[in-house]
Structure formats: C-alpha cells, structure tokens
Amino acid sequence: MEQISNKSLKLALVGLGRVAEKHLKAVKHLGDTYEIVALVDNNSNRQIEVNEKFNLNLNTNNFFQSLADFYESGLNADVVAIATPSGTHYSLAKLALEHGSHLMVEKPLTLNLEEAYELLELSRSKNLKVAVGHIYRFFPIVDQLQKDIAAGEFGKVLAADVIVHWGHDQAYYDQSAWRGTWAQDGGAMMNQTVHALDLMTWLLSSKINSVQGQIKQLTHKMEAEDYGAALLGMDKGFVCRIEGTTNTPENQQSASFYISTERAEISAGLKKKKPYFSIIRRDGKKLTGKYIRAFLAKVWRNGIRKSINEFSNPHTGIFKDLANAIHEDGSPRANVLDGLQSVEAILAIYKSALNDGNSVKLPIEKDFTLEQMKGFFE
C-alpha cells in the first residue's frame, strides 16, 4: 500500500473533537499526500487551538463555521474528512459528494439505513470514493489473516465470538448532550461495538443472514443501551456471537475476537490498547510466529519509525488507503458498502430487541431507524 501519487489531495476537516486529532496526526504523518485547506467547526477558539497545535499554518480565511460556508466561499476539497457526531454524518457526507469531494467518514456511516443507501448510490453515480473509519481493519496482521481465511487456509469456519468491553463512566456521556441519544449516537452497540462487528464480518468474508438481539441499560443514565448481545446467523452456515458494553472498568477496555475453524483456533484482540494474537492448529502447532515474522519483515521494508507511527494510529492506514483508491480508481478497504452493512447489522440487533429478541432477517427494511427506539427503556 505504498503507491501514493505525488499529487497532494486538498483536504477539509469537519469537526474538531478528539477523533479529529487522530485524523490530523495521520494526515501530518503522510507528508505531502494531503494538503489541509480548511478547518470546519462552529467553535472558533478550537480552530485556532488546532491550527497552532498541529502547525497547520492556516489563516482565518481557512476557518469555516459550516461545510456549506466552505463551499460557498469558492474553495473546494478533493477529500472531506467528517469527524462529527454520528447523527450529522449523512447531511455532511451528502453535501460533500454533491460538490464532488471524496470522503473519509467516521463510523458509523449513518444512523439511518435509507440515508446510507442514498450515500452509496450518490458516490457510485459520481465515481467518488468513500472510506469509513473502521480502524480495526488496519491493525497489524489482520489483512493477511483475512486473505488466508478467505483462501480456505484454515478450512471451514465453525463459530465466531466478538466481545467488546469498552468501559466509560457517566462523565463520558455527560460531556456532550448528543452522547447516548437515539437521534445522534445510539449506545454501546452502534458506537463502541460496530468496529468489532465490521472487522469480524470482513475477516470471515461472510454476510449476516439473521439476527437475534437484546439490549439493556444497566448503569448509565442516557437514552440508549450500555449493554447489548446478539446471535448472528451467517450465510456460510455458522453462528457468530457478539457482546458489547460500556459498563466495564474504563481502565480495562478490551475487544476480543475468537474464530474456530476446521484446522485451527484463532484468537486476537486489544487489551488496554495493546494487541494480542494467537493461531493454534488442531494438532497443537502454533502458527502465530509465521504471521509475526511476516509482519516484522513488512516493518523492516517500510522503515521501523514509519511503521510504528502507522500502527499506533490506524487512521494513518485509512487515509493512505483512501489516497491510493483515489489515484488508482480503486475501492477503499473499508468502503461505503461496508459501512452500510455494519449499520444494517446493528440496526437489525436493535430491531430484534424491539421485538422481544425474535429473529430478524437481513436485509431489513430501509425505513427502520434509531428514532423508533425512543422510549425503549422508559
């Protein structure tokens, strides 16, 4: 993934919260791949702060209160990066696509399936690339693991588990009025668990046929859930179990993945932001070293310092991958269809919960939205 063109892509960043800083670090790390031409946020002080913190050397003519203001100024961007609350993604993404800009949109793509389909069709009609911020796809080793599973190296998949314990205290939800709301955010499944769900379905090269889900609100004061679990019936015949919660200790955040196959048991995940990885064949032979050696060889080829910077901030991989897709007219690794399917799967879990955990078949109706979950815990 090193084929980036010499032509810099002009980038406008929309939203300057915590995630936006990861975007800026990634873009700065990629050097001349991108040229930041605008900061879009309704907080002028934050624009000044970010400009100084990241040495962007922009003047106030490059600060805008809204994306509409940016386009009305006569400026344009090859790429618009959207790092705003989830409920605003659709309107901003649509506006950017209508003005001919490629997109990097934070997860989830939208909170509304009909809107996700509209973005898919609009991007295709204009041949514009949309990368969705599913960062787990850019963690070390997972790309090779995905290829090997798809190629049948481990035989048939028999079962899979995804567990996301991404604890947050009440202050996390209280810091912004939109957090934990059905209209703008969703709960532990849509916000924290969607990353892991996306990675697992990608690793397994399998689509979800049906969902049985439950959601609970156990310790937090908010509209949406802080715990969810579901059984996912996959199109290749096996079942994937998924659990996500924000009720666990904040200093013990973890995401774990387990895949059982005919020939091996695969475990991977994050614990306190540190990755772990294990592959053990049915005869007891460990294959983990094979992947680690391949990973270290890649690090050596690309440069140790450069590789460490990239792996410590997976957004670097997303922005690099998007630039390559634009220059080569390819598809981003985490594209708009992937983002749509992840949203659909989470919405299906909510719909199942709304129907007492009964099985829901996919695809679901496009008009099912998070708004229909309002009052679920009242």
Is pTM beyond 0.85? Reply is yes
Check residue 4 and give its pLDDT. Answer: 57
In terms of domains, do 261 and 176 share one?
A: yes
Final residue in a domain of this structure, among 84, 106, 134: 134
Residue 329 within any structural domain of the chain: no
Per-residue pLDDT of the chain (378 residues; tens, 9 = 90+): 455 556 899 999 999 999 999 999 999 999 999 999 999 999 999 999 999 999 999 999 999 999 999 999 999 999 999 999 999 999 999 999 999 999 999 999 999 999 999 999 999 999 999 999 999 999 889 999 999 999 999 999 999 999 999 999 999 999 999 999 999 999 999 999 999 999 999 999 999 999 999 999 999 999 999 999 999 999 999 999 999 999 999 999 999 999 999 999 999 999 888 889 999 999 999 999 999 898 888 777 777 666 666 777 899 999 999 999 999 999 999 999 999 999 999 999 999 999 999 999 999 999 999 989 999 999
In terms of domains, do 219 and 288 share one?
A: yes
In terms of domains, do 179 and 294 share one?
A: yes
In terms of domains, do 158 and 194 share one?
A: yes
Residue 327 within any structural domain of the chain: no
Number of domains in the chain: 2
In terms of domains, do 280 and 153 share one?
A: yes
In terms of domains, do 104 and 147 share one?
A: no
In terms of domains, do 141 and 227 share one?
A: yes
Residue 185 within any structural domain of the chain: yes
Residue 314 within any structural domain of the chain: no
Final residue in a domain of this structure, among 115, 134, 153: 134
In terms of domains, do 146 and 161 share one?
A: yes
In terms of domains, do 80 and 42 share one?
A: yes
Residue 320 within any structural domain of the chain: no
HEC secondary structure over the chain: CCCCCCCCEEEEEECCCHHHHHHHHHHHHCHHHEEEEEEECCCHHHHHHHHHHCCCCCCHHHEECCHHHHHHCCCCCCEEEECCCHHHHHHHHHHHHHCCCEEEECCCCCCEHHHHHHHHHHHHHCCCCEEECCHHHHCCCHHHHHHHHHCCCCCCEEEEEEEEECCCCHHHHHCCCCCCCCCCCCCHHHHHHHHHHHHHHHHHCCCEEEEEEEEECCCCCCCCCCEEEEEEEECCCCEEEEEEECCCCHHHCEEEEEEEECCEEEEEEEECCEEEEEEEECCCCECHHHHHHHHHHHHHHHCHHHHHHHHHCCHHHHHHHHHHHHHHCCCCCCEHHHHHHHHHHHHHHHHHHHCCCCCEECCCCCCCEHHHHCCCCC
Residue 126: give the domain boundaries. Answer: 9-134
In terms of domains, do 160 and 298 share one?
A: yes
In terms of domains, do 219 and 356 share one?
A: yes
**Domain holding 84: CATH number?**
3.40.50.720
Residue 1 within any structural domain of the chain: no
**Domain holding 242: CATH number?**
3.30.360.10
Final residue in a domain of this structure, among 134, 151, 186: 134
